[in-house]
Structure 1
Amino acid sequence: MKITVLNIDQFKNSKVLKDVYVNTFSQHINLNQDLINKPHSHNFYLCVLFSEGTGTHEIDFNSYSINPGKVFFLKPGQTHFWKFDTQPKGFIFFHSQEFYEMTFVNHRLTNFPFFYSYQNPPVISLKSNHHDLQKKFKDLYQEYVDSEIFRNLKIVNIINDIYIDLTREYTSDLDLSNNSHSSYLHILENFEHLLDQSYDKQKLPKFYADKLNISTKHLNRVVKETINKTTNQMISDRVILEAKRLIVHSNSSLSNISETLEFSDYAYFSKYFKSKAGITPTNFKKKYSQK
């Protein structure tokens, strides 16, 4: 069974505002249990603030604890799943890329650190302004359910305000001082886009450097200064992520998966997987089949 990709139209959203959805988290769970009760991905950007509840949020095979004050971010294509130990409360909103960027034409969603790279953590723990931000989420929800004039504009402006506050909170915990160089961020974004298109066929840095019209040395410098990894690490991370997705969410055999990812044979794929993931594909499959 392949991973389910959800879109905004599948949720109980406003008939007028097609590209945005806002709800309290408890209502969201109750209304959409059939959609979100198994691992899935989206074709939209998502943000959720928890004010109550505990549990685990798994995003692309990394597990994060859920507790009050946690905020999670998801980009299109990321696979995730919720598991709650106690009843969750909070607010959730999601929207298309166009909904935001048609208003803020000079600012892209990928300018926000939690959206510009899959390598950045998709979660923060709020420290100082938990209640202030919760009020903004509440105002966003109220604006969404009301039908006041200029509702669309008010909603996108509140979302932008929330993202700015969250960016300030996010960067207070992360050392992103080297990420301020806009040209480096642009190269990183283009590299990740190329990687999403070609990770199965192209596993060497030179291909991506050539496509970006830069040297492999410069590409490595960009990756190192923005996310503190090497180009080879980014490529292998993307290959392993896709391998994990296919192992868990498809009915393909491990041998077929190795072919899909264009490894010369299964033995090489297995060796590659274990060297990067620390576990063999067979044992990884057994581990997730027990969940």
Structure 2
Amino acid sequence: MSKEIPHLLFESKSSEIKGIEIITLENLESKKDIFDHLPERAHQLEFYQLAFYTNGKTEHLVDFVWHTVESNAIIYVSKGQVNAFKFNKGVKGYLLLFTEEYFKNQLANIPQNTAIRLLTPQLFSPKVQVPEASNILTYIQLFFNEFYKVSENFNKKHIIDSLFNIIFSKLEEIKKNQTDYIKESEKFKLFLSFQTFLKNDFVFNKNADYYAEKLNITYKHLNVVCKEIINKTAKQYIDEFVILEAKRNLINSSIKSTELAYLMGFEESTNFVKYFKKHTGFTPNTFKNNNI
């Protein structure tokens, strides 16, 4: 049996519209036994996914955390994140799937905060509860009907693109009144720069002082920025980032934890094991066995 978590690639069923797809959760569940993987087991996405639950109560896994969902809940999953479903009785909904290329082509038309949310998922809860009075479901159902309409295909791509943009604009309207809505600010720009440096250099340096120096600010200023944006210190964010990268690597390959330690920048494998256990409560091998 394979010891690797599946990487799901995007496969479009439409010959007319590339890079985007919509399916029902019921259809996914009914066909799960014919897939090379089980949707209920952890798998890493190579595309973006928006799951809209219309009926039932269940859980949805995003980056190793199970989120309780029920009617009118939406779960965002960005490219590269780990995803899994639980198909409880009565669960219904839609999955809107789209590639990075399609997403980039829509950047000029969708709200800026949608782009921020999808490009920096670590900053947000993946779950959004849609008010019952909202008409987002109407637009998603319309999207589904237009996507699978077999006649009158004239201008179909433009219609699909427009509905995609409306759906995300409607979602931003909802999120604007929620606590996790981020407004553009100089501190937010600084945080994004910090995140970029961290992605590039975390193997070589896990020290917050190093990143403050790269940003030409003080360690204290970096902490203020992180506290305001994510309510965590810079060091806490660095540790969370490193642990998530370690988790993804552990279940994405047959690599041993001793090898991964060196790839993650730890001089001694024992230090990596202690670091991982301190932040997760598990040794790397235990975590891997529990999640494959």
Letter in structure 2 aligned against 1:141? F
Residues 60-104 of structure 1: per-residue CA shift (max 9 Å, x gap): 110112322221101110011112221432111122233244344
Q: Which residue of 2 aligns with 1:20?
A: 20
**C-alpha offsets along residues 263-283 of structure 1, whole Å, 9 cap, x if unaligned?**
121221122122222333354
Whole-Å separation in 1 of the counterparts to 2:190 and 2:159: 33
Q: Which residue of 2 aligns with 1:3?
A: 5
| CA distance in structure 2 between the aligned counterparts of 1:197 and 1:238, rounded to whole angstroms | 12
Give the counterpart letter for 1:166 in structure 2: L
- Runs of 4 or more consecutive aligned structure 1 residues displaced over 6 Å after TM superposition: none
Give yes or no for contact 2:111–2:169 (8 Å, CA) kept in 1: no
Q: After TM superposition, list the pairs within 5 Å mapping 1:14-53 onto structure 2.
A: 14-31=14-31, 34=35, 37=38, 38-53=41-56
Q: What is the correspondence of 1:131-170 to structure 2 with a 5 Å cutoff?
A: 132-146=135-149, 147-170=152-175
Match of 1:121 in 2: 125
Give unpaired runs (5+ residues) of structure 2.
none
Q: Tell me how large the CA RMSD over aligned residues is.
A: 2.7
What are the within-5 Å matches in structure 2 for residues 1-291 of structure 1?
1-8=3-10, 10-11=11-12, 13-31=13-31, 34=35, 37=38, 38-105=41-108, 111-112=114-115, 114-115=117-118, 116-129=120-133, 132-146=135-149, 147-176=152-181, 179-288=182-291
Measured against aligned partners, the alpha-carbon deviations of 1:151-172 in whole angstroms (never above 9, x if no partner) come to 2222222222211222232343
SS at match of 2:35: helix
Unaligned runs of 5+ in 1: none
Structure whose residues are more often helix by fraction: 1
Whichever residue aligns with residue 165 of structure 1, its letter is K
- SS, match of residue 26 in structure 2: helix
Partner amino acid, structure 1, of 2:211: Y
How many residues are paired up? 284
Matched-pair identity in %: 24
Q: Secondary structure at the match of 1:246?
A: helix
Say if 1:113 and 1:167, in contact at 8 Å, map to a contact too. no
CA contact (8 A) 1:112 1:167 kept: no
In structure 2, the CA distance between the partners of 1:266 and 1:28, relative to structure 1 (3 Å rule), is: same
1:149-205: CA deviations, max 9, x gaps?
Answer: 3222222222222112222323433254xx313433333334333333333232122
Cα displacement string for residues 225-260 of structure 1 (whole angstroms, at most 9, x for unaligned residues): 111112211111111112222333432222222222
SS in structure 2 opposite 1:63?
Answer: strand
The TM-score, its normalising length taken from structure 1, stands at 0.84
